[in-house]
Amino acid sequence: MSGTEINLLLNGKPVSKAAEPRTHLADFLREDLLLTGTHLGCEQGVCGACTVFVDGRPTRACITLAIACDASDVRTVEGFEVDPLMVRIRDAFTRHHGLQCGFCTPGMLTTAYDIIRRVPGADATRIRRELSGNLCRCTGYAGIVAAIEDVLANEPPIAPLQPMLRAKPKEVKPVLSGSDAAPTRRDTDGATQQPGTTGAALPDPASFADALHLTQSLTLHTAASDAWAILSDPARIVSCVPGASLDGPAKGEIIEGQCVVALGPIKATFRGSGSIQVDHTNKTGKLIGTGRDTVSRTKLDGMLVFAVQETGPDSCRLDLDMRYRLNGPLSQFGRPELVAEIAERLLQEVGAAIERRVQGGNDDAPAPIALNGLSLLARSIKAMILRFLGRG
Ligand code: FES
Ligand code: FES
- What are 345-380's pLDDT values in tens digits? 677 777 777 877 777 765 544 344 344 444 444 444
Residues 198 and 302 in one domain: yes
Residues in CB range of 220: below 8 A, 6 or more apart: 172, 227, 315, 316, 317, 318, 351, 354, 355
Return the pLDDT at 330: 62
Phi, psi dihedral angles at 212 (to 5 degrees): -65, 145
Higher pLDDT, 305 or 185: 305
Q: Which of 46, 47, 100, 139 to mutate to test the pocket of ligand 2 (most atoms within 8 A of CB)?
A: 100
Instruction: Mark out the alpha helices in the chain (DSSP H runs).
Output: 25-27, 84-95, 105-118, 124-130, 141-153, 224-231, 234-238, 336-358, 373-388
Taking the mean position of all CA atoms in its chain, how far away is CA 283? 26
Question: Do the domain assignments include residue 161?
Answer: no
Q: Which of 50-54, 268-272, 287-291, 316-320 has the highest mean pLDDT?
A: 50-54
Residues 358 and 237 in one domain: yes
Return the pLDDT at 209: 77
Q: Which of 79, 107, 137 is the last residue of a domain?
A: 79
Q: Which ligand is nearest to the CA of 265?
A: 1
Question: Do the domain assignments include residue 160?
Answer: no
Q: Which of 48-52, 101-105, 188-192, 212-216 has the lowest mean pLDDT?
A: 188-192
Question: Do the domain assignments include residue 165?
Answer: no
Question: Do the domain assignments include residue 164?
Answer: no
Q: Percent of the chain, pLDDT > 90?
A: 35
Residues in CB range of 130: below 8 A, 6 or more apart: 111, 115, 119, 122, 335, 336
Q: Give mean pLDDT, residues 107-124.
A: 93
Instruction: Give the model's confidence band at 237: pLDDT under 50 very low, under 70 low, under 90 confident, else very high.
Output: confident
Residues 214 and 183 in one domain: yes
Q: Is the model's pLDDT at 303 over the cut of 50?
A: yes
Number of domain units in the chain: 3
Return the pLDDT at 328: 65
Residues 185 and 114 in one domain: no
Q: Give mean pLDDT, residues 112-131.
A: 91
Report which of 266, 326, 336 is spatially closest to residue 111, judged by C-alpha positions: 336
- The response to whether residue 61 sits with its C-beta less than 6 Å from ligand 2 reads no
- CATH number (domain holding residue 15): 3.10.20.30
Q: Give mean pLDDT, residues 44-67.
A: 91
The DSSP secondary-structure symbol of 30 reads I
- CATH number (domain holding residue 114): 1.10.150.120
Measured distance CA(23)–CA(9) in Å, rounded:
18
Return the pLDDT at 362: 58
Q: Is the model's pLDDT at 175 over the cut of 50?
A: no
Q: Is the model's pLDDT at 343 over the cut of 80?
A: no
Q: Give mean pLDDT, residues 291-311.
A: 84
Pair 367, 183: CB distance under 8 Å = yes
Does residue 74 sit in helix, strand or coil? strand
Residues 292 and 365 in one domain: yes
Question: Do the domain assignments include residue 283?
Answer: yes
Q: Which of 79, 113, 130 is the last residue of a domain?
A: 79
Q: Give mean pLDDT, residues 35-40.
A: 96
Question: Do the domain assignments include residue 75?
Answer: yes
Residues 125 and 214 in one domain: no
**CA 208–ligand 1 middle distance (angstroms):** 30
Residues 89 and 124 in one domain: yes
| SS3 per-residue string spanning 257-276 | EEEEEEECCEEEEEEEEEEE
Phi, psi dihedral angles at 363 (to 5 degrees): -70, -20
Give the 3-state secondary structure percentages of the chain, helix then strand then coil, rounded to 5.
Answer: 35, 30, 40
Residues 225 and 338 in one domain: yes
Report which of 124, 79, 85 is spatially closest to residue 106, judged by C-alpha positions: 79
- What is the average pLDDT value for the chain, to the nearest integer? 77
Residues 11 and 148 in one domain: no
Residues 174 and 244 in one domain: yes
Report which of 173, 185, 122, 169 is spatially closest to residue 318, judged by C-alpha positions: 169
Q: Give mean pLDDT, residues 261-277.
A: 75
Domain that holds residue 124: 82-153
Question: Do the domain assignments include residue 131?
Answer: yes
Q: Which of 40, 93, 136 to mutate to test the pocket of ligand 2 (most atoms within 8 A of CB)?
A: 136
Q: Which of 79, 106, 128 is the last residue of a domain?
A: 79
Q: Which of 38, 60, 110 to mutate to test the pocket of ligand 1 (most atoms within 8 A of CB)?
A: 60
**CA 49–ligand 2 middle distance (angstroms):** 9
Q: Which of 18-22, 69-73, 206-210, 345-349 has the lowest mean pLDDT?
A: 345-349
- The response to whether residue 140 sits with its C-beta less than 6 Å from ligand 2 reads yes
Residues 70 and 93 in one domain: no
Return the pLDDT at 339: 61
Q: Percent of the chain, pLDDT > 70?
A: 73
Residues 19 and 99 in one domain: no
Q: Is the model's pLDDT at 147 over the cut of 90?
A: yes
pLDDT in tens, 76-109: 999 998 999 999 999 999 999 999 999 999 999 9
Question: Do the domain assignments include residue 368?
Answer: yes
Measured distance CA(387)–CA(364) in Å, rounded:
27
- CATH number (domain holding residue 248): 3.30.530.20
